Amino acid sequence: MIMNIANKKILILVFCCLTIVFVVSVFLYIHYYSLNNKTVQETSNKHYIKERPFHLEDSQVTIIKPLSELANECDHQNVNDTNKCNQYIVDVASLNNNILKCAEIEDIGLRDKCVFRVINNNHNKRTNAVRDCERIANKKTRERCLTSLAINLNKREICSNFADEPFEERECLDRTLALNMEVTIKNKKDNKNKIEEIINACTNNLTLEYYNLCLQYSFNSINYKCDELPDGEVKDYCETFKINRHPLITKHDCQKIPLPNYRYVCLQEIKLQKDRYNFDTDNDGVSDGKELFFNLNIFSPDTDGDGLSDGEELDKYHSNPKDKDTDGDGLSDKEELEKNTDIQNPDSDGDGILDSKDDNPLDILNDSDDDGLTDEEEYKWGTDPNNKDTDGDGISDYEEIENGTNPTGEGWRHDADNDGLIDADERFFGTDPLNPDTDGDGYKDGDEVINGYNPNGEGKLTI
């Protein structure tokens, strides 16, 4: 009896000890969590760029520092944090999807990125998204924006903005077609009709990778078997894609691939124990995997035989490695480089005569240095009419003006008409970079923008 009482006392004592430990643990946890949360919040407020990553979905952020302050803070970040800091600025500027907010970013590259972000986020809501893309200073980024817009809206007519660059226009058209094939075939009643639509669309002389992409995007969106396809190249591609998708492919599997180039590369991967993107059979600077993707000849460094390697055409000149005359003007791509004419433009000087038939394809009226700007334009821009590269940085005056950079010195800050808006800003706001008062109302463009008025007409500045 005495032993039972003792055991009960021991059990009660143990239970009480455990209860106390539990209560103390809960108290310490709550205290620590509260303190830690407060510390994190304080740290975030003091060093929010470095310590607190910003996310667009973070709806709690209501007070945003001026972008000039953010930029100054970024200047004091170490090199490893610069990209994150710059990304933060773009996130903040595009938070409200207001392109005018992007204009507060002084760095032109970041501003272009911001404009691109806003357009991508709101391509269905922008009343004139094409004009929005034109606000981007850098030519390549501007063209990428237009192409992205054509794809997102599935409007191939947007590609007409590349009318003076036939290959760029063709790429835009083909990319828009290929990446929207799933939408195109959606309303077809059965697989037979869908397959016919795919074959008719994807085999219509699509350039470079868009033939492959068109087939892959299409067939991945429907239920089909390769055996259902008619004999021919499309069926061979179907079988090839099917085998290549297998994660544990063997030499025996490679031998079944019907397309010889794909079969060779598959066997080389097993032999060399390397991924196809890590070896280059013809040493042209383009890996075998990339050559297959772009439908190039893996055994020839110059697929179109124009004297330029496939690597140079893809990465340096952005010309067509499958066509020796990218712009169709009668001059091969190499001849264009030798004559200093534009590989992308069949009429480099815009005089209405194809480069191949023009005795002087770079002779723009009163263009003494043949840089694409008339002497009168050079005078207005402040560049040297007798020197196609006034600042000697290796980029012609015309190219610098096209890309929003400064043709008379380093960087991009240049105000040709001295109206208070640098040339890149003039493109952004749609004003005339050579006219200090675009709308002729007696006020300089820069003064109107700074005070929130429309430099292109009456009323407040809205974009």
- Please provide the average confidence, as pLDDT, over all residues in the chain: 80
pLDDT above 50 for 256? yes
Q: How confident is the model at residue 400 (pLDDT cuts 50, 70, 90)?
A: confident
pLDDT above 60 for 390? yes
pLDDT above 70 for 151? yes
Q: E-assigned strands of 97-225?
A: none
Averaged pLDDT, 59-66? 37
Q: What single DSSP character describes residue 316?
A: I
Q: What single DSSP character describes residue 227?
A: G
pLDDT at site 121: 83
Averaged pLDDT, 68-72? 61
Sorted by where each begins, the domain ranges of the chain are 259-319, 372-414, 420-463
Residues 360-390 as b/e (b if ≥16 CB within 10 A, e otherwise) read ebbebeebebbbbbebebbeebbbbbeebbb
- The CA-to-CA distance between both ends of the chain, in Å, stands at 91
What is d(CA 124, CA 324) in angstroms, rounded to the nearest whole number? Answer: 38
Q: How confident is the model at residue 59 (pLDDT cuts 50, 70, 90)?
A: very low
Which pair of structure tokens corresponds to residue 72?
């100054």
Going by C-alpha positions, the residue among 100, 176, 112 that lies closest to residue 140 is 112
Averaged pLDDT, 10-30? 59
More confident site: 38 or 219 = 219
pTM above 0.95, yes or no: no
More confident site: 307 or 58 = 307
pLDDT at site 103: 82
DSSP characters over 62-131: -----HHHHHHHHHTS-HHHHHHHHHHHHHHHTTTT-HHHHTT--SHHHHHHHHHHHHHHTTTT-TTHHH
Averaged pLDDT, 28-57? 36
Our measurement of the distance from residue 394's CA atom to the centroid of its chain's CA atoms, rounded to an integer in Å, reads 24
pLDDT above 80 for 419? yes
pLDDT above 80 for 12? no
pLDDT in tens, 104-114: 777 788 888 88
Q: How confident is the model at residue 25 (pLDDT cuts 50, 70, 90)?
A: low
pLDDT above 60 for 408? yes
pLDDT at site 42: 35
pLDDT at site 68: 58
Highest mean pLDDT among 6-15, 22-31, 435-444: 435-444
pLDDT above 90 for 253? yes
Averaged pLDDT, 85-91? 71
**Inter-residue contact 285 to 304 (CB < 8 Å):** no
Q: Could you give the C-alpha distances from 105 to 21, 111, 366, in angstroms and in order?
A: 56, 6, 37
Angle at 438 between CA 437 and CA 441, to 5 degrees: 60
Q: What share of the chain is helix, strand, coil (3-state, %, to 5)?
A: 55, 0, 45
Q: Scan for tokens 């209405």, then name that residue.
A: 352
Query: How large is the C-alpha radius of gyration of the chain?
Result: 31
pLDDT above 90 for 299? yes
Averaged pLDDT, 125-140? 88
pLDDT above 60 for 64? no
Going by C-alpha positions, the residue among 353, 330, 416 that lies closest to residue 379 is 416
Residues 178-194 as b/e (b if ≥16 CB within 10 A, e otherwise) read bbbbeebbeeeeeeeeb
More confident site: 58 or 406 = 406
More confident site: 62 or 276 = 276
pLDDT at site 33: 44
pLDDT at site 160: 94
pLDDT at site 41: 35
Query: Which positions ≥6 away from 415 have C-beta within 8 Å?
Result: 421, 422, 423
More confident site: 185 or 278 = 278
Going by C-alpha positions, the residue among 164, 163, 378, 393 that lies closest to residue 370 is 378
Highest mean pLDDT among 74-83, 91-100, 155-164: 155-164
pLDDT in tens, 162-202: 988 999 999 999 999 998 988 888 777 777 778 888 888 88
Averaged pLDDT, 422-431? 88
Largest pairwise CA distance in the chain = 123
pLDDT at site 415: 86
pLDDT in tens, 331-353: 999 999 998 898 999 998 888 88
Going by C-alpha positions, the residue among 76, 67, 124 that lies closest to residue 95 is 67
Q: How confident is the model at residue 75 (pLDDT cuts 50, 70, 90)?
A: low
Which pair of structure tokens corresponds to residue 126?
């922008």
The number of beta carbons lying within 10 Å of the beta carbon of residue 170 is 21
DSSP characters over 296-315: --TT-S-TT-SSS-HHIIII
